[in-house]
């Protein structure tokens, strides 16, 4: 890349998308310089923010960017946690705020067609209004589909229903040179050459710009129940997870969280968790086609955990109670965000999650750190928070991050290496982006990274698409 945006380029951009959809003032473009990651990246102001309204405009912008070798950073809702939409080389931020339409609900094929700027929250409302259901829920309903697909977002329900990748049937993608392609479609089976749909999912905007998607939807589960199960220790809670699966039970979600962060989230939201006993809690969501089947499943889980260290079993059997429990769990990050330095997003085989969580506990004790941990126990995805605070008397007590900076880095390295030793990776659902690229080679072998770089070179020979992400 060698290009620099000048007045002539600004004029051409305005001719493509309209004067009001090209933003250049330092105050306004500053909003697009970061995502939700707590540590802000300095010096990442885009030179211009461009808001296209249709795919033809995206194509024209990328043709112009190729001509002048301008870096282009696609951006959805900005809800990411890995710096994936941070424009580290200036250039153009391509914002999809205007391409936010729910285009079609095809009942016969059980798919929806959406523009990439549609938010998760609006999609859920539209789908449910048509009597359907969309299982993946990465957390922040302000996330947009283009970004969720680009990072292969997951969420708590992936244990039974999978992540975003499992629901993308087809895509509309604009390549670096402006060419528009349409891999996939409203198909269930497709064995026609390389699976380009899966290639773009999780590519973080480095191979092409997603403008439209065909998304699988399904019939809504008739009966749901949420269980909260307290234990005295991390080890006890996590050790129960494989016992549940060994019985042939497949919950919708199996989440775990410490009482410390649950209590902080309660106070943050002014809501009430069902119990305050024990140090570590499992939250299990089950669904079934009948009340009887749901009851049998709930009873069997209760029998398993009570035989293996659970202090009690609490059942949220009304929609209001379920919503309250889910809200507290989903808002943990917001409750502790202020004192968070980094969020690790390790993913290990389900059989290894207990050992990995034990390692987190050991590392916290070794370095005298507070490392609150929660995540998706059912699919092996663990979120460990590196904190610039201690937890004392139910409160976060801030400490000078400079005093523990080296300890935090050692903890990060040890936990990434532990994940690697267990056949895991450093990111299960947040992506690599900017902030994890230094650690990428810890869990991905050199041959794979080399092949990824060759694919990147083939798709984007000028290196203009989201440069500086994933790879060093």
CA separation for the pair 419, 86 (Å, rounded): 27
- Tokens 């895509």 map to which residue? 171
Strands 381-387 and 389-392, by their bridges, are: unpaired
Q: What is the pLDDT of residues 275-310, one digit of tens each?
A: 999 999 999 999 998 999 999 999 999 999 999 999
CA separation for the pair 199, 238 (Å, rounded): 33
What's the pLDDT at 203?
97
| CB contact at 8 A, 284 and 231 | no
What's the pLDDT at 354?
84
Ramachandran angles phi, psi of 378, nearest 5°: -75, -20
CA separation for the pair 393, 104 (Å, rounded): 52
CA separation for the pair 97, 117 (Å, rounded): 5
Token pair for 406: 């080296």
| CB contact at 8 A, 119 and 129 | no
457 bridge partner residues: none
Helices 353-367/234-246 angle, 10° precision: 170
What's the pLDDT at 3?
63
What's the pLDDT at 158?
78
pLDDT per position in the chain (472 positions), as tens?
556 899 999 999 999 999 999 999 998 998 999 888 766 666 688 999 999 999 999 999 999 999 999 999 999 999 888 889 999 999 999 999 999 999 999 999 999 999 999 999 999 999 999 999 998 887 788 999 999 999 999 877 778 888 899 999 999 999 999 999 999 999 999 999 999 999 999 999 999 999 999 999 998 878 889 999 999 998 899 899 999 999 999 999 999 999 999 999 999 999 999 999 999 999 999 999 899 999 999 999 999 999 999 999 999 978 899 999 999 998 999 999 999 999 999 999 988 988 999 999 999 999 999 999 999 988 899 999 999 999 998 899 999 999 999 999 999 999 999 999 999 999 999 999 998 999 999 999 999 999 999 999 999 999 999 999 999 8
Enter the pTM of the model.
Answer: 0.91
Of the candidates 167, 139, 202, 141, the one whose C-alpha atom is nearest the C-alpha of residue 375 is: 139
Of the candidates 252, 350, 257, 330, the one whose C-alpha atom is nearest the C-alpha of residue 298 is: 252
CA separation for the pair 359, 69 (Å, rounded): 46
Ramachandran angles phi, psi of 55, nearest 5°: -65, -35
Domains for the chain: give ranges and CATH numbers. 7-97 (3.30.43.10), 102-219 (3.30.465.10), 223-330 (3.30.70.2190), 334-437 (3.30.70.2740)
How many Cα atoms occupy the beta-carbon half-sphere of 54 within 13 Å?
3
What's the pLDDT at 42?
63
What's the pLDDT at 221?
79
3-state secondary structure the chain: CCCCCCHHHHHHHHHHHCHHHEECCHHHHHHHCCCCCCCCCCCCCCCEEECCCCHHHHHHHHHHHHHHCCCEEEECCCCCCCCCCCCCCCCEEEECCCCCCEEEEECCCCEEEEECCCEHHHHHHHHHHCCEECCCECCCCCCEHHHHHHCCCCECCHHHHCCHHHHEEEEEEECCCCCEECCECCCCCCCCCCCHHHHHCCCCCCCCEEEEEEEECEECCCEEEEEEEEECCHHHHHHHHHHHHHCCCCCCEEEEEEHHHHHHHHHHHCCCCCCCCCCEEEEEEEEECCHHHHHHHHHHHHHHHHCCCCCCCEEECCHHHHHHHHHHHHCHHHHHHHHEEEEEEEECCHHHHHHHHHHHHHHHHHHCCCCCEEEECCCCEEEEEEECEEEECCEEEECCHHHHHHHHHHHHHHHHHHHHHCCCECECCCCCCCCCHHHHHHCCCHHHHHHHHHHHHHHCCCCCECCCCCCC
What's the pLDDT at 43?
65
How many Cα atoms occupy the beta-carbon half-sphere of 15 within 13 Å?
8
How many Cα atoms occupy the beta-carbon half-sphere of 277 within 13 Å?
12
């Amino acid at each position: 890349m060698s290009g620099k945006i000048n007045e002539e380029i600004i004029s051409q951009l305005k001719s493509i998308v309209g004067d009001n959809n090209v933003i250049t003032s330092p105050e306004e473009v500053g909003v697009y310089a970061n995502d939700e990651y707590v540590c802000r990246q300095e010096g990442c102001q885009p030179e211009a923010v461009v808001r296209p309204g249709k795919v033809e405009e995206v194509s024209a912008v990328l043709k112009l960017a190729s001509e002048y070798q301008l870096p282009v950073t696609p951006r959805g809702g900005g809800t990411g946690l890995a710096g994936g939409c941070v424009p580290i080389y200036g250039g153009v931020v391509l914002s999809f705020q205007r391409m936010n339409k729910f285009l079609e609900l095809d009942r016969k094929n059980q798919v929806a067609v959406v523009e990439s700027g549609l938010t998760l929250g609006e999609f859920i409302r539209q789908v449910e209004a048509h009597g359907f259901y969309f299982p993946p829920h990465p957390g922040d309903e302000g996330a947009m589909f283009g970004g969720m697909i680009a990072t292969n977002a997951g969420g708590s329900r992936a244990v039974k229903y999978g992540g975003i990748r499992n629901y993308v049937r087809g895509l509309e993608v604009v390549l670096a040179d402006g060419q528009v392609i349409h891999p996939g479609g409203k198909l269930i089976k497709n064995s026609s050459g390389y699976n380009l749909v899966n290639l773009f999912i999780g590519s973080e905007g480095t191979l092409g710009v997603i403008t439209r998607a065909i998304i699988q939807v399904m019939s809504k589960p008739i009966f749901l129940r949420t269980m909260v199960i307290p234990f005295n220790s991390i080890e006890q809670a996590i050790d129960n997870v494989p016992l549940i699966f060994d019985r042939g039970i497949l919950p919708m979600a199996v989440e775990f969280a410490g009482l410390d962060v649950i209590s902080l989230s309660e106070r943050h939201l002014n809501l009430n968790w069902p119990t305050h006993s024990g140090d570590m809690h499992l939250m299990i969501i089950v669904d079934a086609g009948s009340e009887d089947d749901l009851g049998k499943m709930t009873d069997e889980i209760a029998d398993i955990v009570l035989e293996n260290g659970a202090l009690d079993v609490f059942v949220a059997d009304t929609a209001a109670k379920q919503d309250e429990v889910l809200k507290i769990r989903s808002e943990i990050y917001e409750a502790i965000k202020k004192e968070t330095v980094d969020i690790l997003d390790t993913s290990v085989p389900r059989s290894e999650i207990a050992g990995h969580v034990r390692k987190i506990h050991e590392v916290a004790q070794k370095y005298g750190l507070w490392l609150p941990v929660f995540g998706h126990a059912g699919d092996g995805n663990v979120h460990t928070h590196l904190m610039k605070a201690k937890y004392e008397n139910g409160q976060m007590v801030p400490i000078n991050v400079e005093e523990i900076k080296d300890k935090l880095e050692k903890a990060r390295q040890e936990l990434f290496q532990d994940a690697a030793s267990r056949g895991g990776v450093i990111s299960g659902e947040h992506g690599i982006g900017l902030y994890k690229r230094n650690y990428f080679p810890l869990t991905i072998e050199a041959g794979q990274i080399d092949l990824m770089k060759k694919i990147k070179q083939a798709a984007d020979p000028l290196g203009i698409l989201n440069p500086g992400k994933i790879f060093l």
